[in-house]
Amino acid sequence: MWTSKRRAVVRALYVVAFPSLSANSFAFQSTVTSSRSRWLSRQHSTRSYSVSSIMMQIDNRVALLQVPVTESKSTNLKTASDYIRKAHDAGAKLTVLPEIWNSPYATSAFGDYAEMLPNVGDKLTEASNEGETSEAADNGWGQSSRLLMTLAKEYNMYIVGGSIPEKCDNKIFNTCLIINPRGEVVGKHRKVHLFDIDVPGGICFKESDTLTAGDGVTHFDVDGLGKIGIGICYDIRFPEFAMLLTQHYDCKILIFPGAFNLTTGPAHWELLQRARAVDGQCYVMTASPARTSPPNDDDETDTKSKYPHYSAWGHSTVVSPWGEVIATCDEDPAMVVTDLDMSKVDEMRMAIPTMKQKRNDLYRLVDG
């Protein structure tokens, strides 16, 4: 009985979209991850669709933007703008950028690319909407946040702005802005758990060399989707953080912009998403930067990099409340588009009511 329900979810959430060479069309390709999904491959082979036929916004349609990131902030801003437009053209109601999309992912780069960011409740001034480009027009906010606020209003969509380095009070944070269709900031999450790891034979990285940790949880409401909780990358490794969002704040979707690497990515990226989805009986969505090739230092024609190269795992993904991967992509630049059936969250929570079966006499989740 439950198997048939799971198949219904897979049929409803059916597409992975990759940007084609043409700016006016997308190649839609199904990605299968289990035997139950092989039906999907037969039903939805790779096809091209004109975006002009999809322009109307679709309720509960979401898009994950796996964009390539360079050392040029202006190039990154243009890329993000192009992908957000493509998400709008595909009918997305909400779109998600990856972690650190306007800057190289390097502790030495964060300070150089950091910007002042708006706070919850802020929106662009009329002067800025009329083309004012000076950062002074909006309390010193940087280009990245003003771009997101402008596009959210222009396209009448929610934008989960991945994350960018934020400078505030002589500190730098890894910060995600959430913008509503009126161009207003409705959420601001500063990465709570900093990525400080040293994997023997793998990777050593210390965000705390540059960044300061945030100290709060973030959630926001979207009509039709309900409450949505936000974490950034390493935050996904802490089940208590996710449970706080799903159990105390009743979030039905968790979104984690992230940039896992080639050591942790193949081992844990999908595993952690599926675990958080099953723990919280909710949808989990992740957006990663696309993987880029390191510069060839032996090639004199290749531009020398100022910062250490970081290879992102990619594989931006949507996982269902049952813990199944229902939409994903590979490591290349991509846009993952899917429609969320929110009734499946309630079905899962009723069928396996773990949230009502907690042993509070033995353990308890406390909101700090």
224 Cα distance to chain centroid:
19
Q: Which residues lie below 8 Å from residue 162, measured CB to CB, with a gap of 6+?
A: 65, 96, 97, 98, 99, 100, 101, 176, 257, 287
* Bridge-based pairing state of the strands 61-66 and 334-339: antiparallel
d(CA 342, CA 340): 6
- Set 86, 153, 191, 252: catalytic member: 191
d(CA 335, CA 197): 29
Q: Is 115 a catalytic residue?
A: no
Q: Is 184 a catalytic residue?
A: no
- Set 99, 166, 207, 331: catalytic member: 99
Q: Is 233 a catalytic residue?
A: yes
E strands of the chain, at which residues? 17-19, 25-28, 47-50, 61-66, 94-96, 158-160, 164-168, 171-179, 185-190, 196-198, 204-206, 218-222, 226-230, 253-257, 283-287, 317-319, 325-328, 334-339
- Set 233, 251, 282, 329: catalytic member: 233
Residue 327 backbone dihedrals phi, psi, to 5 degrees: -160, 135
Using alpha carbons only, how large is the chain's radius of gyration in Å? 20
Q: What is the four-CA torsion angle of 234, 240, 243, 249, rounded to 10 degrees?
A: -90
Given a contact cutoff of 8 angstroms between Cβ atoms, the answer to whether 51 and 20 are in contact is: no
* Bridge-based pairing state of the strands 204-206 and 196-198: antiparallel
Active site residues: 99, 191, 233
